[in-house]
Structure 1
Amino acid sequence: MTTIVQQSAVTLHFTIKLQDGSVADSTYNMGKPAKFVMGDGSLSENFEQCLLGLKVGDQKTVELQAKDAFGAPNPDNVHHMDRAKFVGDAEVEIGTVMAFSGPDGVEIPGIITEIAGDSVTVDFNHPLAGQDVTFEVEILSVE
């Protein structure tokens, strides 16, 4: 039975819960598990450490402080943009998540947090930044 080590390709289901017990994200809801390679940067290093040694069929609950999960909100990740840049059918309203092209061409999600006249404030921090979270994982495959 293969256990998770660095560079393992892991397929798992996860649920992320907030302090109040509400579900912030879950692969069960989407009906599709997540797949990633240990060390590829898609998970925080601290979270990966919690997965090392698990094997197929294992279920684990991991509580992470904000700094070990999605980090603290970074004020440099909040940008003010000209409303004219928002064209097309997309409704510009508070709470809308939109994809923006980052400097390296990779799309990054931003949440519209404020609209004042022609200025739109977009927060590129992870929606769970600054929050302590609980991950519940179920390991489906390890390669």
Structure 2
Amino acid sequence: MLERSELCEQVTSGCRVLADVTIKLKDGSVADSTKVHGKPSWLILGDGSFSEAFESNLIGAKIDDKLTFELGPADAFGESVPDNIHFMDISQFPQDVKLEKGAIVSFEQPNGNQLPGIIREILGTSVKVDFNHPLAGETVIFELEIKQIAA
């Protein structure tokens, strides 16, 4: 828990915000939620992690506030970039990996980091892999419940 002197009354630019976050698609289905994991997330405003549109919806919020707002692709997870979609030969995948449409496969990059890709299509020996964020190109609805605000 944070010291009382570090807590803020309301969200301002540069704050850290502890919140339960649920992300829904336009059809109302839940794409992700911190409530599933039982652990709220720290959101750091002003560090470039979130769009200005996302952050502007939080400014002025107080502890226990419940916010709901919709953002288009450009302000949420970005547009789908065609250059991030690749066709790979099926032989490039380990034999123990189950290849099916919608499956997320992790690829090791030269620097050792993992990059997830979504199998979009399998055509013979060619596998279409999408390296865009899974929610790229989607308009999404954010539901946040503010738990804590810190300087």
- Report the TM-score, using the length of structure 1 for normalisation: 0.86
**Percent of paired sites with the same residue:** 50
For 2:127 and 2:43, the matched residues in 1 are separated by 34
Task: Describe how 1:63-74 pairs up with structure 2 within 5 A.
Answer: 63-74=70-81
For 1:66 and 1:55, the matched residues in 2 are separated by 27
Cross-structure match for 2:131: 124
Q: CA RMSD in A?
A: 2.0
> Does 2:31 match 1:24?
yes
Q: How many corresponding residue pairs? A: 143
Larger gyration radius, structure 1 or structure 2: 2
Higher deviation after alignment, 126-135 or 1-10: 1-10
1:5/1:107 Cα in 2 relative to 1: closer, same or farther (>3 Å)?
A: farther
For 2:109 and 2:115, the matched residues in 1 are separated by 6
For 1:102 and 1:40, the matched residues in 2 are separated by 25
SS in 1 for 2:117: strand
Shift of 1:74: 0.9
Displaced runs of 4 or more, over 6 A = none
Shift of 1:85: 2.0
1:77/1:62 Cα in 2 relative to 1: closer, same or farther (>3 Å)?
A: same
For 1:32 and 1:87, the matched residues in 2 are separated by 34
- Report the TM-score, using the length of structure 2 for normalisation: 0.82
Cross-structure match for 2:59: 52
1:120/1:55 Cα in 2 relative to 1: closer, same or farther (>3 Å)?
A: same
Higher deviation after alignment, 82-91 or 106-115: 82-91
For 2:144 and 2:22, the matched residues in 1 are separated by 7
- Structure 1 unaligned runs (5+)? none
SS in 2 for 1:84: helix
For 2:115 and 2:12, the matched residues in 1 are separated by 29
For 1:65 and 1:76, the matched residues in 2 are separated by 21
1:8/1:20 Cα in 2 relative to 1: closer, same or farther (>3 Å)?
A: same
CA displacement 1:71-106 (0-9 Å, x = unmatched): 221101101122222115321111101222346544
SS in 2 for 1:110: strand
